[in-house]
Amino acid sequence: MNINDLCISYLNALNEGNLDNVLKLFTEDAFVVSPLYGKMPVAIFYKELFSDTNNSSTELLNIFLSTSENKTVALHFNYQWKMKNDFVESFECVDVFNLNDTQDKFNKLTIIYDTHKFRDNFNQIRE
């Protein structure tokens, strides 16, 4: 699977809320750094995210490849997130992925977006 296909597969799995399909795209030791959830192993992060989500959808805007050795790729997309309390938030997001040596899986994800508008609603569902 090339890097572009890997990225599209990720967004499709995220849209479907399909934990198995998301996890297939990551190495076993992969972790996520999220502005809302903090740093955690990828399996725990997506279990929590999907548990907190009623529905979500993405609209891909750009795929950016690193200029140095292609070990990093960034997805720039619009994300619509319907939380389990039915609060809906739409925002622009950048997911920055580090790739494994064979560039066929992700081994780290850093998520970048502004949480200011919906942090209170997020905190309510986490109580």
User: Quick one: DSSP state of residue 68?
Assistant: S
Residues 55 and 87: beta-carbon distance below 8 Å: no
> What are the pLDDT digits (tens) for 16-73?
999 999 999 999 999 999 999 999 999 999 999 999 999 999 999 999 998 877 699 9
Q: How many domains does the chain divide into?
A: 1
> What are the pLDDT digits (tens) for 70-119?
699 999 999 999 988 888 889 999 999 999 999 999 999 999 998 777 77
Range of the domain at 77: 3-126
pLDDT at site 70? 67
Whether the pLDDT of residue 120 is over 70: the answer is yes
User: The dihedral of CA 1, 26, 78, 63: what is its sign?
Assistant: negative
Where residue 79 falls (left for φ over 0; alpha for ψ -120 to 50; beta otherwise) is beta
Exposure of 97 by Cβ count < 10 A (0-12 exposed, 13-18 middle, 19+ buried)? Answer: buried
Whether the pLDDT of residue 7 is over 70: the answer is yes
Residues 63 and 73: beta-carbon distance below 8 Å: yes
Q: Write the CATH number for 98.
A: 3.10.450.50
Residue 57: strand, helix, or coil: strand
Q: If you search the block for the tokens 């986490």, which residue do you land on?
A: 126
